[in-house]
Amino acid sequence: MNKSIKIIDEVDGLQFIEIDNSLAVARVALQGGHVDWWRPKSAKQDVLWRSSNARYEKGRSIRGGVPICWPWFGKHPTDGSFCAHGFARVIPWKLLESVQLKNGATKIVLTMIPTEAVTKQLTYSFELILTIIVGESLYLNLETTNLSDSPFVISEGYHTYFYISDIKNIKVTGLENSTYTDKIDNFGSGIEKKSITFNNEFDRVYTNSNDCYIEDEKFNRVITIKKSNSNSTVVWTPWEEKALAMGDMGEKDEWRRMVCVETANLLENSVVIYPKMSHSIATEYSVQEL
Ligand code: BG6
């Protein structure tokens, strides 16, 4: 086993992979293939946000880090009884491989283990492989392969929670001139004219394949979100009332210190995967000074 990684059992029987190399520390829950922590050693502040009362329980998603949404994003298209954002984030994955890279980063490769209950929710068979590279940046690549004889359609995304100085201090750039669908405005659409600032609940899906940036003057930094094979970006903050109603968004004002900027493919950007073909969506996070 690679020396920079350690498998640990923690609360409620959940297993984690802990990574500690010369560049960064990270933790990945085997339930959900969920990076619930990553911090480059050079960073002055945390980069990912994780709720202080995140639930570490079998079958529940962890509030924070990088939840994987797959094979549907948001509500299931036809059956509201299926779990929101798909089942990939709440079922077990297993470690296939871990490699120490020459630049000091650690690569791990995971595959999802479909349970009997979730297999019943699908009409097709598939393989899902998640590659994570933990270093000065955090890189994720999710590859779906169609093992059936007919095409199928997925929507997907990295529902990442970023740590910020305060929701009122930041702006999200890179989405100017993109078309959006606004969940709060009854799925109305529009074109984003300028960089995004926040003073209320915000929940928009953008048709966009560009890289995005979270500019945070108080922290004197920008978080760069590189995207590959992703034609949607979701930007979300619940604001106070919804955050308090959710039960796992942390103490009173904790929600102010996070924003989700999600590399995704959904709505009209959902992906058709043909038999014996694969599709990958990748994203990479890094921090620069402003
Ligand atoms: C966002 C959705 O992506 O995820 C929101 O647009 C939703 O509507 C949020 O509330 C959180 O979802 P969940 O299932 O993790 O509570």
d(C-alpha 159, C-alpha 203), whole Å: 12
Pairing of strands 170-173, 212-216: antiparallel
* Residues of the chain scoring pLDDT < 70: 1
Q: Please tell me the distance from the alpha carbon of residue 221 to that of residue 187, in angstroms, as a whole number.
A: 32
Distance from Cα 221 to the centre of ligand 1, integer Å: 26
Whether pTM exceeds 0.95: yes
In this prediction, residue 257 carries a pLDDT of: 98
Q: Which amino acid is at 143?
A: E
Which of 262, 268, 279, 284 does the annotation list as catalytic? 262
Is-catalytic flag, 262? yes
Q: Which atom of ligand 1 is nearest to the CA of 238?
A: 10
Report strand pairing: 258-265 vs 138-146: unpaired
Which pLDDT belongs to residue 198? 98
Q: What gap in Å lies between CA 155 and CA 68, rounded to an integer?
A: 11
**DSSP codes, 212-226:** EEEEETTTTEEEEEE
Measure the N-to-C terminal CA separation of the chain; round to a whole number of Å.
Answer: 39
85 lines ligand 1 (CB under 6 A): yes
286 phi/psi in degrees, rounded to 5? -150, 165
Query: Which neighbouring-strand residues pair with 271?
Result: 154
- Give the Cα separation of 45 and 145 in Å (integer): 37
**Residue type (1 letter), 179:** T
Amino acid at 253: D
Task: Identify the pLDDT of residue 77.
Answer: 85
The span from the CA of 39 to the CA of 45, in Å, is: 8
Q: Specify the number of domains making up the chain.
A: 1
Ligand 1 close to Cβ of residue 184 (< 6 A): no
Do β-strands 278-289 and 138-146 pair in parallel, antiparallel, or remain unpaired? antiparallel
In this prediction, residue 117 carries a pLDDT of 86
Model pLDDT, residue 1: 64
Note if 34 is an active site residue.
no
Query: Which CATH number covers residue 135?
Result: 2.70.98.10
Going from the Cα of 238 to the center of ligand 1, the distance in angstroms, rounded, reads: 8
Structure tokens given for 121: 């929710």
Q: Are 262 and 159 in contact (CB under 8 A)?
A: yes
Q: Check 136, 159, 254, 284 and give the catalytic one.
A: 159
**84 ligand 1 Cβ < 6 A:** yes
Q: Is the CB of 239 under 6 A from ligand 1?
A: no
Contact 136, 286 (CB under 8 A): yes
Strand, helix or coil for residue 121: coil
Ligand 1 atom at minimal distance to the Cα of residue 84:
14
Is any atom of ligand 1 closer than 6 Å to the C-beta of 159? yes
Q: Give the pLDDT score at 203.
A: 98
Containing structural domain, residue 114: 5-289
